[in-house]
Each structure stands twice: as structure tokens, then as C-alpha cells.
Chain A
């Protein structure tokens, strides 16, 4: 009998290579640690969207709400006297997850269009809420005075972002490991079950609603960690962390990278942000033209994003060997 193939979390060589890249970048590009941290943070944020969109099939246009809530939670905590980074992140995750849990009941009700509108609406509400509550959030001026304590009481968040980069990489990798394990577990399987057939799931005894509520909560928590990381490493929180533009950009990044492969968000974030950095360097006012063109071509030619493209190349390469 042939070997049974079931989701396992055995490491692929390409995955090891993938995670060695940011470590190598730390040494190779000393001037780019701030950009590197941002890429990792947005990559983690995109991973949080992948959990609901790529794996479970829940679309969202307002995921920045959870990112921003995490950012403000961590930022406010540090501003008002608790600058310990890890507990700050934990708190950011819990607050975002709680908010995700409460809003999930609105999201799980409808079909795709309803969900797009509900998530969009939640995003706008939170944005305007933070704008109005300027006495807490700093409003359009942003939250300043975020003072971080040393990491492990030893490493300072330095101006060039050395330690911040390593801190971000460590946290992103740890959260990624957790997400990766969950995706390959029975719970991860049931997420894909919901994506593949919402009609069949109840008939194997699973409550689609409960699954969606739990995964939405989890995803919001991961987005909150990403937001918290941004607040801590930049020691500033702007209203843009909650903006619709950020939610939309996130969607672009995930579609670029490819949904439902774990790595799509991280790769998409790297490609998108490096391309933006480069294009904006060429022409600061014109870069969105190239971004738009790339997006249209992407959706026309390679709808599955970079990850699907890579998988296709790998299959082509494997075929002669298998035959």
C-alpha cells in the first residue's frame, strides 16, 4: 500500500532556506533593518489574513481594525508606564482577539458581499472612533511618547533598528511556528473543510459558525501581534494603522503572494514593499502606476500569486524525474 499523505509539519528544505534569508539579510544589508522589520510585520499581518481568507474562505476588507487595535494597545501600554515588550504584545493580542471575537458574530452571518461590507464597516467605525478619541490616541497627530523597556531587560530598541529587527524576526518566527502547527492540525483541516464546502460541514457534525468565530478571533489576535510589533519597534502609532488603505494593501499583498500556502503573505509583503521602495525611489509620485499594472497582470496571468507560480515551476521540474 502506498504511504498515506496527511497534513504533517515536517520541514521542507525550501522552508529552511526561506527562514535563513531574513537572518542573512541582517548581516548583508545593515542599512535596511527598519525596512526589514516593516516587511516582517506586514508579512505577519498578511499571514493573519491568510488564516481566514486563504484557509477558511472568509473575505475581509477591514483587517486593519485588528492591526491598529493591537498597535494602539501596545503603544498606550508603553506610553503609560508599561514598556515591557513581550507582555505588551501578549496584551495587544488579547485585546485584538477579544474585539475579533465580538465582531465575528456580525461577520459570520452573511455571504461574501455581506462580509466584505461588514468588515469594511467595522474598519471604518474603528478608524473614526480612534480619530474622535484623540485624547487617548492622539488622533491625526498619532500616539507619541511610546517608551519601550529593554528586550529581556538587556537589549535596547536602538535608533538604527538592530535589536528591533531581531526582536521582530524572533516574534514573527515564533507566531509563524504556531500558525503552521495549527494549519496542519485537525483544526486546520476543518478550516479547509469550511472553505471547500459550507454545506457539507454540518453533515459531518461540525458547526460552521463556531469554526468561523474561533478562526476569526485567532486571526484578529495574530493581526494584533503584528500591530503591536509595529508600535513597539517604531515607538509611534499613527491613525494609518487603522486605515482602509492598509486593509486594501493587505489584500493586494496576500493576492500577490498567494493564498492558502502559509508563505504567501510573507513573500507578498517582501515583494510588494521592496518593489514599492524601489519604484518610489525611481519616481516618488508615479509608483502606484507600476503597482497597478503589476496587479492587473498578476490577476490575469497568475491568479494564484507567487506561491502558485512557484508550485507550478516545481511540478514542471519534478515531472521528468518522476517519469
Chain B
């Protein structure tokens, strides 16, 4: 089993606040791994450490065999790891198509081209449309992102991440703010992604977690409480006590 992503003793603290303490986890290629935990458990901090938005206080991050702990964020994306944001972080003044074409250009290293117009980048536009189609965003390709309904914006979050052709995809509450009926749709999109893409996701909705995750890590107070299959986690008395019991649906 090849390891796609691994952390060793990853910690982040601000003064006395230990947001992440000594997190050692490994994720094999093709994992469907949920990270759960009550509010303030350090889930988003963990994602921010992985992507490089935050620098860890100590510990290491390895992509495959390569240590990426000190690499800037965009370099980690170039090595195959990207994320989506819990709080929608898109390009409001760009159209849906422009955003995805830009992401495709950046992945191909063609973002610096200045001598040719975007309209002449046919391959990139075709690929962008191929990314948008399964997300049912192709009809809104020319729509400004800020004019897009919220649910569609959540799908564009995923489309932008996919445009980087990630080997590892970190999804920070991909269905955040979407009515529970429609959130299944978001996860069905995720479930259809290629099997060799390693997916880590944070999710509060336990139904979705137990349906889509093959393994679950429970974070509490910045520490790993336990890790296992959905059945193991569900059976764990400590998890029931600290988490499932009090905030089954946040």
C-alpha cells in the first residue's frame, strides 16, 4: 500500500493554545478519509498546515517520500495536493469558465503567457468545460461567479480544485451551508472522482461521513482521539461520549 500523504508529530500552537498537537497520520493512495471532531477540534488548522497556509510549530509533512513541511503553498499544489475552502473562496469578478481556465493554465505552467489571448487557448477551454460538465455547471460557464447561486458556488469550489488534477484532495466541509438534501449531491460528485485520488474531508453531517468515508479520524482538542473504520469509530465509547452524543449534527 503506497502512502500518498503522511504527517509526523505535526503540531501548531499559538501561545498557550494548542490547536494541533502531535498529529501522526498516514493516508494511502486512493483513501476516502474523513476527519471529524467537535468545533474547535483543530480540523481546519490541520488542513491549513497540510496546504502550507500555516507553518507548523513542529513536526513534518511528507507527500509520498518528499518532505514538504517548508514548501510554500503553491509549490505543494504543483506537487499534487490542493484543497477546497469551508468559507467559499472563489474569484467573484471572474466568470465560471474564466476561473477554471485560469486554474488549468496555472497547472500547465502557462499562466505567464502574455502574447496570446485567453480566447485562443482552445485546449484549456475544452478541458475546463469537461471539468464543469459532470458538475452540471456547463450552462453557467459564462456567468459571473458572484452571480452564481450558493449551491453552485460550492460545486465550483470543487471544480477549481479538480482543475489542478490533484493526487490528494483536501475538502474542508464541501457541503457547508447547503441544505442536507442537496449536500448528498455534492458528495456523489466526490464519490465519482477517480479511485486513485486520495481524498481527505472534513464533514459535520454524520450520515454523509458514514456513507462516504472508508476510514475516519476523530480529532478532539487538537489531538487524535482515535482512528479506524466507520464501524470501529461508531463503536468507540469515547467517541460517543465526546462527539457523537453531544453534537451529532452541527
Contact = CB atoms under 8 A, between A and B. Distances in A.
Nearest to B97: A4
Given A184-B119, A202-B52, A203-B74, 13 more contacts: A4-B125, A4-B141, A5-B142, A7-B119, A184-B117, A186-B110, A186-B124, A196-B94, A197-B92, A202-B72, A202-B77, A203-B82, A207-B74
9 contacts: A2-B139, A4-B125, A4-B142, A6-B117, A6-B119, A7-B117, A8-B118, A189-B111, A199-B85
Interface of A: 1-2, 4-9, 181-182, 184-190, 192-193, 195-197, 199-207, 214
B90 A190 contact: no
Interface in B89-120: 89-95, 97-99, 101-103, 105-107, 110-120
Nearest to B146: A196
B105 A190 contact: yes
Given A184-B119, A202-B72, A202-B74, A192 B94 contact: yes
Q: Which 8 pairs of residues, A with B, have the shortest CB-CB distance?
A: A8-B119, A196-B91, A202-B73, A205-B77, A204-B103, A187-B114, A202-B74, A7-B118
Q: How large is the interface on B (under 10, 10 to 19, 20 to 34, 35 or more residues)?
A: 35 or more
A55 to B, nearest CB: 11
A189 B118 contact: yes
A186 B121 contact: yes
Contacts of A190: 102, 105-106, 111-112
Interface string B144-163: 00000000000000001101
B106 A206 contact: yes
A187 B116 CA distance: 9
A195 B99 CA distance: 13
B117 A193 contact: no
Most buried by A among B83, B94, B114, B163: B114
B129 interface: yes
Contacts of A199: 85, 89
B108 to A, nearest CB: 9
Contacts of B161: 203
A2 B77 contact: no
A1 to B, nearest CB: 8
B164 interface: yes
Nearest to A194: B91
Contact of A204 (B102, B120, B142): B102
A204 B106 contact: yes
